[in-house]
Amino acid sequence: MLGGDGTVNEVANGIVDTPCAMLPLPGGSTNVFCRTLGLPDDPQDAVRYSLAAIDQDLLKPVGIGSVNGRYFLFHTGVGFDAAVVEQVERQGDLKRYLNHPLFVYAAVKTWLRHYDRSEPAFSIEFHDGRVDDGYFAICLNTDPYTYLGNLPLNVAPGATLDRGLAAVTLRSLRSSHLVKIVIDALRPPAGVTANKHLDLRTDLEQATLRARRPVPVQVDGDFIGTFSELEFRHHPNALRLARTDLLNS
C-alpha cells in the first residue's frame, strides 16, 4: 500500500490478527515507519525492497502497540507533541508543501500559546512503579521517534518490532531540558538517557495514564482528540509485515 504514516496506520488497524501481510510504500511527507523499515523514499525503489523481502521469506509477524484499543505502529504522543500536531492539521493544506518548517512554526506557536506548562498534566502507572508529574509522554513501538529532514530523533533505541513498548515521560518542559533532549536524540545510537527530568522504560506490556485535565493525543502522527485516561498495551505477533529492515545486504 502507498501512503503516509496515517494511511499505513489505518491499513494496519484493518488487518491486525488476520493472515494478510502489510507491504508499506512511502507516499507521505515524513514516512517515519517506512524509513524505520529501511525503505528508500522513492516508491519504485521501495517496491524492489518489498519484493526482495518476499523472495527472502521475510513476511514475519511483529508486535505493535495500542492505546484505548487503537493500534499504533511506531508511537503515540501525549501532551505537547500532540498539541503541535493538532495545530499542523488545522493548516493541512500547507503541510504537503511546507512540512518541516510548518512543524517548527507550529511547535513555537504551541509552546507560546497553546499548551499549559504551568503544572504537570498526568500520571502514568507501570508494572514496576509510576510517574506522578508528567508533562509530555511518548509511548513507542519502534525508534526513531521522528525525523528532522534526514536526521533521526532517537529517543528510545530499546524500542523495536521484536520487543515490548518503550515509554519516555518528560517531568519538566523547561526549554533548557528540551534542548538537551533534542541534542541527545540527534546523537545515535545512544539516544536520550533517563535522569531526574526524564523517565525511560522499556519492554512494557502495558501502562495506564490518568490525566488531571484532558490531554491531546496523537497516534502515528495523526491527532485523535483529547483524553482523560489512556490504556497502552503491547500486542506481540499481531501484524504480518514485510521485514525489509532484515534484508540481506
pLDDT per residue as tens digits for the range 219-243? 999 999 999 999 999 999 999 999 9
Q: What residue ranges of the chain are covered by domains with CATH 2.60.200.40?
A: 67-235
How far is residue 245's CA from residue 73's CA, in Å, rounded to a whole number? 15
Within 10 A of 165 (CB to CB), how many other CB atoms are there?
Answer: 29
| CATH assignment, 67-235 | 2.60.200.40
- Residue 98 binned pLDDT confidence (cut-offs 50, 70, 90): low
Average pLDDT in the chain: 91
Q: What is the pLDDT, as a whole number, of residue 92?
A: 64
pTM of the model: 0.92
Q: Give the list of residues 6+ apart from residue 74 with CB closer than 8 angstroms, or none.
A: 5, 32, 33, 36, 140, 141, 142, 145, 220
Residue 150 has pLDDT above 90, yes or no: no
Residue 93 has pLDDT above 80, yes or no: no
The phi and psi torsions of 150 (rounded to 5 degrees) equal -100, 5
pLDDT per residue as tens digits for the range 32-89? 999 999 999 999 999 999 999 999 999 999 999 999 999 999 999 999 999 999 988 8
Nearest to 223 by CA among 70, 89, 34: 89
Q: Give the list of residues 6+ apart from residue 39 with CB closer than 8 angstroms, or none.
A: 24, 25, 26, 31, 45, 46, 49, 50, 244
Residue 130 has pLDDT above 70, yes or no: yes
CA 159 to chain centroid, in Å, comes to 10
Contact 159, 116 (CB under 8 A): no
How far is residue 112's CA from residue 104's CA, in Å, rounded to a whole number? 13
